[in-house]
Amino acid sequence: MLGKLKAMAGEGAMKKAVDAVSPALNEHLEVVRELDPAQVRDDETFRARVIQPALLAVTAASSGLTSLVPRFEERFARALFHLRNELVVVEDGSVRLADDFQGRLPGVLMEGLRQEA
């Protein structure tokens, strides 16, 4: 019983965090379009150029909501790697965001935050 309540509270916190950070995250994801395809594919470069700056921005913009999500930093990194795989299109030597990016962003973030290491 207690485990189920804890899981429900965690899910609610993640939903609130996603709603709060999505606008701030949009600005930082524009950087992805400026990167070379090799930089987008390289995990360390993607972490340094996209994930770390975005993490700082969303943490500041969340008004403390991210602190309610256990292990938010590592979950956020996994979520952005998941986002890269789902919503960033690398083709013909260019990088772009998927056509339905805005509509899918909250769902993809939630999926990524739910993933276990």
**Structure tokens of 24?**
């701030």
pTM of the model: 0.81
How confident is the model at residue 49, as a pLDDT? 93
Q: What is the pLDDT along the chain (117 residues), one digit of tens a residue?
A: 444 444 444 567 677 767 767 777 877 788 888 899 999 999 999 999 999 999 988 888 777 777 777 888 898 999 999 999 999 999 888 999 999 998 898 899 889 888 876
Question: What residue ranges do the domains of the chain occupy?
Answer: 2-114
DSSP state of 65: G
How confident is the model at residue 117, as a pLDDT? 62
Q: Please tell me the distance from the alpha carbon of residue 14 to that of residue 10, in angstroms, as a whole number.
A: 6
Number of Cα atoms under 13 Å in the Cβ half of residue 35: 24
How confident is the model at residue 10, as a pLDDT? 55
Q: Please tell me the distance from the alpha carbon of residue 95 to that of residue 79, in angstroms, as a whole number.
A: 19
Output the CA–CA distances (angstroms, integers) from residue 50 to 8, 41, 76, 108, in the order listed.
30, 12, 12, 16
